[in-house]
Structure 1
Amino acid sequence: MDYDRNDALLHWLFRQTQGDAWFRPNEESISSGVALRVSDAAHSGTPEFRVFPYEEASLEPFETAVAALNPVVAVKVRSAAVHAALGEVSADDRYIYVDAETRIQIVDTMLMLPQADREQCAAFIRDERVMVIWSESIDRIVPLCQDFEERLIKLLWRSRPVIAAFSSAESRAPSLYRVHGGVVKGVFGELGRDPEGYDVVLGRERGVALDEKSGRGSERVAKRTWYGKKYYVSTAGSESHELAESDEKRPVKLYAPAYNGLAAGLALVFVGNGVRTLLMEWRLDGDFTRFALLACSPFLYCVSLFFAMQIVQNISMAIGPIAHFHRNSKYYSAVKPKANKVVDNNLPHITIQMPVYKESLEAVLAPSIRSLKKAMQTYARQGGTSTIFINDDGLRLLPAAERDERLAFYANHNIGWVARPKHDDSQDGFKRAGRFKKASNMNYALMLSLKMEKHLENLLANPSQVTSRDSSERALGMAIEEMWEESGRRWRPWAANGRATRVGEFVLIVDSDTIVPEDCLRDAAREMNESPTVAIIQHESDVLQVAHHYFENGIAYFTKRINKCISIGKSFTCANGEVAPFVGHNAFLRWKAIQDAAFLDPADGKMKIWSESNVSEDFDMALRLMLKGYIIRWATYSDGGFKEGVSLSVDDELNRWQKYSYGCNELLFNPIKDWWRKGPIARQIHKFLWCKAPLHYKISMMAYMFSYYGIAGAITISLINYVLLGFQFPVDGYFMHSFEIWLATTVVFWGSGTVGYTLLEYRLGVKSLLGALFENLIWIPFFFFGGLAIPLTQAILAHLFSYNMQWAATKKEVERSNFFKEIPKIAKRFWFPLLFSFVVLAGIVILATPLVPLEYRVDGTGWAVILPLAMTCGCHILFPIVLNPWLMVFSY
């Protein structure tokens, strides 16, 4: 017989996983074995498996079941530990608790294995007294088998009968195997029905197979007093800590109302000081015309609001209370939810929704899905079910080879997906609505899923017409046909895997470049159950780095600092009692609440979940949920387990800032062409200001949005300041000089902001004082974000004047470049800011020389007039150069 590489792998796997098997193959016609997938379904129609030992008739059911389950590799184990464990269960048991956090399913026969929960990666077979273990990676199958063997031995050892001589009462060991007769309402929550035996049977009572105390030692947690002294507190383990904390009610913290109120009052003082100047001048000369300057007061108040909040925040970080950072409150979760027997025995189905475009499968999508699969496996072994639902907007745009590779990957990993037709600019072509397409992509996929649910309900009303095996697939096919008919038979959706395209009770929405913690799904289910009014749990995200050059390192530091400030001390002071933001990814959504907040889109008359007409669809969703009485919560107990990708280039980072500024202007103002019909103020901000959201939240949100106007106005204000003061035009005392503004922002944002954040990290025990100070200081030179003023102005004006401004898709993977490639890119992208800055700097130089008449000369004696404008122009020139790491690579 000629052996190939697959045979070599099979032989090796059999030796590694079956070496201790004590049953001979011919005994009771039951044999252990190994199955390996040698070809994908995409290439041959059905996956092909090779089984070892060869030509073993007793392994035919195993081969058939594994082919239907379709893992990469599967092992049939018949060891003493497996045999003994199954020998102690009753006929109606459906699970064995391998340890306190892991329960493995029991199926009656080998041919029922395809109906098992694939994410558990293991199942006991009752009639043969064997265990089947499978994996999506050959590298992990051997450690997985060894791990299960070790756990089963520990289980059997702990559950052994105690010698009767000690005590008759003690001689009865607690039962490790419970009668699990309770059936979940439905794996899909409110939409739950059991069309194909997919709903798992869960126990009403949790069996304990492992002494929990033996697995949890005493822990010492570092804390600090209010003045910063470190001390340690011993806990009995994280589980008892969770139980103690979760018994507390979730109060509304009042620090945020106090801080935001102080900031609003401080901004009013700034404006009032200007009014005081006008009154004093009026008393001197009696000229009323200067009071026309008060028309600027509302704008000055709005722009100064964020500055005032930063002052209050810096003080609160340095000397304010911090104990609430470690406690749960209405809008903030610092401690994991407690164990809940009812929830844990009836864990809901969770759908993981991932909108994707043309990202690399190998470099971007596969690592993210592997991370999600680990979380799904943990959740499955805890008793829950979950699926991945990909909304693929790039599938129909890819070359055939890449498309087939994606489809095979989706099929092999049991992923449900939907792909809509590509965008067509012709009059009758398919239109992908929206500026960034993400919202319309998810709407399209969810619309298909809801249609599928409707057809599934009709199929279940006549169970004789359909078998449980194909109900979801038939319903999906009917939904595809319905959408095709609605389009006049022009645009047929692409979709597959009916089970995974159904939406569960909760939805975890992630980006294509995301890492999630392994044990996050059950925590979300527990917290959602504890708080029925919570619509979104937004998790704090750490940074996922891939390039590790200095630009990505700087953006990573900047992102971490922003996320930490959201948690404890910036505009969205969630721990202080601020309403949590929704940032659109790494968030758990309650599907029922999202459906309650759906709206009728006037553009096409269809019900939509996400707004396709707004750049900031996340804010729009949060606003609609608040109007329905739901709340959003910020969670930090994952301790950085959620990770998100950051901008890999200065070009992507600039796109991000422009999108934010465009979105803020979209929320605040209508385009100028619509002012005669709708007025200048946008309807959405009217809704926000008059909704039932807390007043302090409205203040902080408005401050955040107005901060973009402060950044954008830097170049315009500096230029006006140079002309008015440099040419010595008569200026009222109400006018504040640019140098004074520059000095104030430098001191508040760079100076006291760095000191306050350093002290906060030290007081929380996150870092040492000198370590925190060093890290915060070394990144100060990185912030050449003074070069954002002109690009943000362009984005704001683009919306006001209805200019169709376009941005490229964010790059998710590193693209190697060099000096000679980057120079043309910089010239193409930044030509206007560079041209404007060089012209202005040339004008500053010329006006400082004897080439111009004395009355128009602005020489070095007017340095306070020159410095702000020169620095702003210099930052615009340095921005695309200093922040571009590839300019240092001189390769051909």
Structure 2
Amino acid sequence: MDAITIQNSDYDLWDAWLHKIYGATQQDNWFMPTDDVIATGVCMRVENGFFRVFPYENPALVPFEAAVRRLNPVVAVKIRDASVHAVMCRIKPDDICMYIDQETRIQILDSIEQLPDAEKDSCAAFIRNERALILWSYNLDQIIPLYKDFEEKLIKHIWRNRQNATPQRSSVAVNVIPAAADPLDGSTNDLTGKPEDETEAQMSEKAKEVLESRAQTKAPSKWWSWRLQPKDDALSDSEKAASSSSERKLILFGPFYAGCGAALALYFATSSIGVLLKEFALDGNYIRFALVATLPVIFCISVFFCLQLVGNLSLILGPVAQYHENSAYYSAVKPAPNPEVDNNLPHITIQMPVYKESLELTIAPSVFSVKKAMQTYARQGGTSAIFICDDGMQVLSEKDQQERRDFYANHNIGWVARPGHSSAPEGFKRAGKFKKASNMNYGLTLSMKLEKFLAQLIAEGAEDTADECLEDRAMKMAAEEVYAETDKRWKPLCANGKSTRIGEIILIIDSDTVVPEDCFRDAAREMYESPDLAIIQHESDVMQVAHHYFENGITHFTRRINRCISFGCANGEVAPFVGHNAFLRWSAMQDASFIDELDGKNKIWSEANVSEDFNMALRLLLNGYTLRWATYSDGGFKEGVSLTVVDELARWQKYAYGCNEIIFNPFIKWWRRGPISKELRGFVWSKAPIHYKIGMMSYMFSYYGIAAATIGSLVNYLLLGIGANIDQFYLHSFEIFLACVTVFTGVGNVGFTLLEYRLGHRSLLGAVFENVRWVPFFVFFFGGLSIHLSTAILAHMFSYNMTWGSTGKEVERSTFWIEVPRIWERFKLSFIICFLIIAMMIVFTTNVVPFEWQIPGYQFALVIPLALVVGCHLLLPIVLNPWLMIFSY
């Protein structure tokens, strides 16, 4: 029901905001209409469904308030000043949009009544019959900056096109032709393009902008720096993109390095055969050749070590120019403008799976970041929507549920929520260990059913009603079908059918994410250029929230890993898919779907694997699609990292469990399916590139190398210490320890330091300091991983039900007295094992055991590896716990 805001002498905070916004946006509103029918003002939502308008008691603002209420932003302003009028008077009757600059497309509506059907994310619309501009925002603090931004753009737009409205001198060209055709028929050509011949003032303005950009990007040269900026200046970026997008060359450095690493691992594994042959020549004992059976294990464990050795040497001595160029699996340069794409931008869905994260501290900031990108994309001519798969909605309190519902409704977010997991035999089961895959599958299934019913409604000639659109009707029908499939026991919750529909491209993000403001159109262009491209995985920077030393250490490690992945993909390695901050082609995902053997349903994501992202990438590769790693966002994508050592250990346990899941079947299935999993057999014999197989398998085997540190050091201590004659085939733990220190700590840090320097990301001294200062942190971290990864691997082998929740996203302040019992509870198993090993080592130095079995402490080659492993496991939860080390009580 339409209403007039009545003035009340008792002003509140809403009135203060109304007056402030009105004063900031309407102060130049001197160009008023001659009649009283058209009025300008501010409309603000004070609570759900209730709006307040200023100026008060103005009947002419009733249509404005009614339209804004249906649009449902936080605040909207109606502006009708001289600049708006100057632009509107030049719009043709059939124009439906206008470009006020090359990146800002504004929709044109015939009347204020059409405002509820406007493109919501553009946050702006011209009203033809009133010659007015409506601006709106979903954030109260942003409306005044939004107005100032538009005011500046309108003035610049009028000034750029002033020759069309004023008499021209003979020396100034008057013909204005757009550089690119308008994407929509009937749009105003003389207002959207760039003049062929610009006036001196315009050229001076452009030259000033270029000089400013050069001054901002060019860094001073220093004697200790290689290069701190790209070799091509800003003027050649588009030309460079155009040339690089036309062809995608295949770089072969990665395959060459992988081949060298595999050959080196094979050499190390087989060189010990020579030792066996020499020993056989001396004693003629055939039994020792049984040790050859261990060679496959030795090769698998050593291949990651060898690849790291070759890779680190390539960082020091290999070429790096390819890091700045586009190639088959790597994008360093943004795709060039393409009118065919830019005029028909695809709909993009932002899919965000969430659980019990804080709405205020985690989900809302991520949504606001995405909304900025959606606004940019909308002004470029595209459409997008947020689709949240909410696993927390039906397990939270009623108050928290309602807060999420209101937030989703106020920000035009589509969402689906499934019932909570029940351990009862007949209860609802959320499939999977990590449950993210089944959460996304549930939402996508309902969305696909929505499309089916929507097509059915359209075929029947159904139309939107005043209270319900066709998409919402189709969504309700889809929800009822899902409900019926469960014998009407578990009904999904869902809302906003329009935003629940899946676009041609999906951006998958986590609940703690920041995205660049201009990234959607680049993804659309790149997908168009490469029809076989299924995933664009962006390199992510870190979004820090706690800023304590543990988060800082994991931040350094995450950035280092991402940089190495970027360099590997630039070398020609197949890009990985990490499960978030990635654009996926929806049609490719559907092509790679499969029928789940457990329930016979078509699935997009694998619910039987902890590493559903690797499973998706492999299925896409086997279906002929390409994966690509992109770095041109320059760290604009940000992700949260673990805030506690417990969360980080859980993450590594999940990875170890997932790798073992890919390689081995559980023991209980060996008698039927054998030890090697079907997935690994399929991967090995697939048509995937050989170097990709070597790289992925070396990565998976690395978890076994870390997990074996404790048991390997213990076996080495006992075998060599007891004094038995050990075959020379055996490699001592101390030798392995020295090799690992040399390659990972020594050559690894030197290589990455020089890579940072050679790429121009850091000065040489800055890179040295940054890498060296975190060495102690990683000694304790990686030294204390072994037992925890072993438990995860053994859990899968023995079919133990090991599950993980979502990683903590918010900072939880703690004290010394809270952390001490937590540490004992979480690390009880590793502490007991370590204390038993210490007791054993003490006993072996005493006369309790026979003299020939005694292991004195001066035998450093035996003691150091085991002591280091035990010490790191004991100190890991202590020295890497910020709340414990600051002794806050």
Question: Would the TM-score normalized by the shorter structure come out above 0.5?
Answer: yes
Letter paired with 1:779: W
Residue 810 (1) aligns with residue 807 (2):
yes
Letter paired with 1:155: H
1:861 and 1:841 mapped to 2: Cα distance? Answer: 16
**1:253 touches 1:329 (CA, 8 Å); kept in 2?**
yes
Q: CA deviation at 1:701?
A: 0.6
Match of 2:561 in 1: 562
Residue 440 (1) aligns with residue 438 (2):
yes
CA gap of 1:204–1:259, structure 2 versus 1, over 3 A, is farther
1:253 and 1:576 mapped to 2: Cα distance? Answer: 6
**1:202 touches 1:346 (CA, 8 Å); kept in 2?**
no
Where in structure 2 are the equivalents of 1:123-522 lying within 5 Å?
A: 123-161=125-163, 166-167=169-170, 170-174=173-177, 181-182=184-185, 207-208=193-194, 213=206, 215-217=209-211, 219=214, 229-230=226-227, 233=231, 235-237=233-235, 239-464=237-462, 466-467=464-465, 470-522=469-521
Match of 2:16 in 1: 8
CA gap of 1:224–1:315, structure 2 versus 1, over 3 A, is farther
**2:574 touches 2:692 (CA, 8 Å); kept in 1?**
yes
**2:266 touches 2:299 (CA, 8 Å); kept in 1?**
yes
Please list the CA deviations of residues 152-202 of structure 1 after superposition, one character each: whole Å capped at 9, or x if unmatched: 11111111117756328813344799776449xxxxxxxxxxxxxxxxx99
Match of 1:584 in 2: 579
RMSD over aligned CA atoms reads: 2.3
CA gap of 1:26–1:631, structure 2 versus 1, over 3 A, is same
Q: CA deviation at 1:839?
A: 1.4
| Of 325-334 and 283-292, the range deviating more from structure 2 | 283-292
2:228 and 2:18 mapped to 1: Cα distance? Answer: 55
**1:65 touches 1:111 (CA, 8 Å); kept in 2?**
yes
Q: CA deviation at 1:331?
A: 0.4
**1:235 touches 1:241 (CA, 8 Å); kept in 2?**
no
Please list the CA deviations of residues 805-856 of structure 1 after superposition, one character each: whole Å capped at 9, or x if unmatched: 2334311111111111111111111111111111111221232234443212
Residue 639 (1) aligns with residue 638 (2):
no
SS of structure 2 residue aligned to 1:359: coil
Q: CA deviation at 1:426?
A: 1.6
Please list the CA deviations of residues 681-715 of structure 1 after superposition, one character each: whole Å capped at 9, or x if unmatched: 00001111111110011001110000000000111
Letter paired with 1:727: I
Match of 2:4 in 1: none
Letter paired with 1:816: R
2:427 and 2:704 mapped to 1: Cα distance? Answer: 38
CA gap of 1:261–1:891, structure 2 versus 1, over 3 A, is closer
Please list the CA deviations of residues 353-410 of structure 1 after superposition, one character each: whole Å capped at 9, or x if unmatched: 0000000001101111110011101111111110000000001111111111111111
Where in structure 2 are the equivalents of 1:583-732 lying within 5 Å?
A: 583-732=578-727
| Of 732-741 and 24-33, the range deviating more from structure 2 | 24-33
1:584 and 1:234 mapped to 2: Cα distance? Answer: 33
SS of structure 2 residue aligned to 1:383: coil
Please list the CA deviations of residues 440-459 of structure 1 after superposition, one character each: whole Å capped at 9, or x if unmatched: 10000000000000000011
Q: CA deviation at 1:248?
A: 4.6
1:737 and 1:180 mapped to 2: Cα distance? Answer: 69
Please list the CA deviations of residues 718-752 of structure 1 after superposition, one character each: whole Å capped at 9, or x if unmatched: 11111111111110000000000000000100011
Q: CA deviation at 1:54?
A: 1.7
Q: CA deviation at 1:246?
A: 3.0
1:847 and 1:825 mapped to 2: Cα distance? Answer: 33
Where in structure 2 are the equivalents of 1:546-557 lying within 5 Å?
A: 546-557=545-556
2:405 and 2:56 mapped to 1: Cα distance? Answer: 31
Q: Which of 58, 62, 87 lines up with 1:85 in the alignment?
A: 87
Q: CA deviation at 1:489?
A: 1.2
Q: CA deviation at 1:98?
A: 1.5
Letter paired with 1:104: I
Q: Which of 37, 48, 64 lines up with 2:45 in the alignment?
A: 37
CA gap of 1:234–1:864, structure 2 versus 1, over 3 A, is closer
**1:324 touches 1:575 (CA, 8 Å); kept in 2?**
yes
Q: CA deviation at 1:890?
A: 3.9
Please list the CA deviations of residues 505-549 of structure 1 after superposition, one character each: whole Å capped at 9, or x if unmatched: 000000000000111101000000000101000000111111111
1:781 and 1:247 mapped to 2: Cα distance? Answer: 44
Q: Percent of pairs identical after alignment?
A: 57
The two structures have a TM-score, normalised by structure 1, of 0.94
2:657 and 2:191 mapped to 1: Cα distance? Answer: 53
2:739 and 2:763 mapped to 1: Cα distance? Answer: 28
CA gap of 1:443–1:778, structure 2 versus 1, over 3 A, is same
| Of 808-817 and 243-252, the range deviating more from structure 2 | 243-252
2:697 and 2:190 mapped to 1: Cα distance? Answer: 49
**2:98 touches 2:188 (CA, 8 Å); kept in 1?**
no
Match of 2:536 in 1: 537
Q: CA deviation at 1:7?
A: 2.0
Letter paired with 1:299: V
Structure 2, unpaired ranges of 5+:
1-7
Match of 2:54 in 1: 52
SS of structure 2 residue aligned to 1:29: coil
Where in structure 2 are the equivalents of 1:108-127 lying within 5 Å?
A: 108-127=110-129
**1:848 touches 1:857 (CA, 8 Å); kept in 2?**
yes
2:184 and 2:832 mapped to 1: Cα distance? Answer: 75
CA gap of 1:100–1:613, structure 2 versus 1, over 3 A, is same
**1:25 touches 1:32 (CA, 8 Å); kept in 2?**
no
Match of 1:195 in 2: none
SS of structure 2 residue aligned to 1:463: coil
**1:180 touches 1:204 (CA, 8 Å); kept in 2?**
no
CA gap of 1:871–1:178, structure 2 versus 1, over 3 A, is closer
**2:75 touches 2:136 (CA, 8 Å); kept in 1?**
yes
Q: CA deviation at 1:483?
A: 1.0
Match of 2:882 in 1: 885
Q: CA deviation at 1:617?
A: 0.6
CA gap of 1:782–1:608, structure 2 versus 1, over 3 A, is same
SS of structure 2 residue aligned to 1:492: coil
CA gap of 1:108–1:208, structure 2 versus 1, over 3 A, is farther
| Of 134-143 and 684-693, the range deviating more from structure 2 | 134-143
2:485 and 2:858 mapped to 1: Cα distance? Answer: 73
1:205 and 1:621 mapped to 2: Cα distance? Answer: 46
**2:540 touches 2:635 (CA, 8 Å); kept in 1?**
yes
CA gap of 1:813–1:229, structure 2 versus 1, over 3 A, is closer
SS of structure 2 residue aligned to 1:27: coil
SS of structure 2 residue aligned to 1:37: strand
1:13 and 1:23 mapped to 2: Cα distance? Answer: 18
The two structures have a TM-score, normalised by structure 2, of 0.94
Please list the CA deviations of residues 564-591 of structure 1 after superposition, one character each: whole Å capped at 9, or x if unmatched: 11111xxxx2111011100000000000
Letter paired with 1:292: A
Q: CA deviation at 1:669?
A: 0.5
Q: Give aligned pairs, total.
A: 864
Letter paired with 1:366: A
Match of 1:766 in 2: 761
Letter paired with 2:885: M
2:624 and 2:27 mapped to 1: Cα distance? Answer: 60
Letter paired with 2:493: W
